[in-house]
């Protein structure tokens, strides 16, 4: 059984990836806007600092420091939020896959089901691979493979880069 393949190729994982890409892009856009704000204010500070009084210069320096702090806090919190969102999106997918595998194992009267990615050795001739049946149960299209998924993701990344 290739559990990883099952998780990565199911339609729900595509939805989760799309949702995460949108959330990640929104976070990146917000971060970039904050950095742009800092750079604009820093350039203004550099250009005018010599003409300002000490109190104005001090106020502008504090403003720049506050923006830097906000950027750092945002970066840390958004990373954690994205990680939590990823986990919450993937949890039902893992549960569905586990349920499908459990059902197939019960139907086939299997005592054990091993994930091929965590078994050091197995004899394929003497084993039954539940992956095809699990793929069908999870509505994974017949010709979809990890390689085709990788190609899809690469094409999406290239399109996103061209759009920028």
DSSP string, 39-107: HHHHHHHHHHGGGS-HHHHHHHHHHHHHHHHHHHHHHHHHHHHHHHHHHHHHHHHHHHHHHHHHHHHHH
Per-residue pLDDT, 119 = 82
Model confidence at 163, pLDDT cuts 50, 70, 90, reads confident
Q: Given its phi and psi angles, is residue 139 left (phi above 0), alpha (psi -120 to 50 degrees) or beta? A: left
Exposure string for 131-158, b = 16+ CB within 10 A, e = fewer: bebbbebbebeeebeeeebeeeeeeeee
Query: How sure is the predictor about 131, in pLDDT bands with cuts at 50, 70 and 90?
Result: very high
pTM comes to 0.79
Per-residue pLDDT, 135: 94
**pLDDT, tens digit (0-9, with 9 covering 90-100), for 90-130:** 999 999 999 999 999 999 999 889 998 888 787 888 888 99
Q: Of the candidates 36, 30, 68, 75, which has an alpha carbon nearest to the alpha carbon of residue 60?
A: 68
The span from the CA of 152 to the CA of 43, in Å, is 42
What whole-number distance in Å separates Cα of residue 45 and Cα of residue 60?
Answer: 7
Q: What is the pLDDT of residues 56-100, one digit of tens each?
A: 999 999 999 999 999 999 999 999 999 999 999 999 999 999 999
What pLDDT was estimated at residue 81? 98
């Amino acid at each position: 059984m290739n559990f990883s393949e099952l998780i990565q190729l199911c339609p729900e994982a595509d939805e989760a990836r799309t949702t995460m890409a949108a959330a990640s892009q929104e976070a990146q856009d917000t971060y970039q806007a904050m950095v742009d704000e800092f750079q604009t204010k820093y350039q203004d500070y550099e250009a005018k600092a010599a003409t300002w009084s000490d109190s104005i210069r001090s106020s502008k320096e504090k403003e720049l420091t506050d923006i830097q702090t906000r950027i750092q806090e945002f970066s840390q919190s958004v990373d954690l939020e994205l990680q939590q969102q990823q986990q919450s999106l993937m949890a039902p997918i893992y549960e569905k896959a586990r349920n499908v595998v459990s059902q197939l194992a019960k139907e086939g009267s299997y005592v054990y089901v091993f994930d091929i990615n965590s078994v050091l050795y197995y004899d394929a001739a003497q084993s039954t691979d539940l992956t095809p049946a699990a793929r069908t149960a999870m509505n994974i299209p017949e010709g979809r493979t990890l390689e085709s998924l990788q190609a899809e993701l690469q094409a999406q990344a290239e399109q996103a880069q061209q759009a920028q």
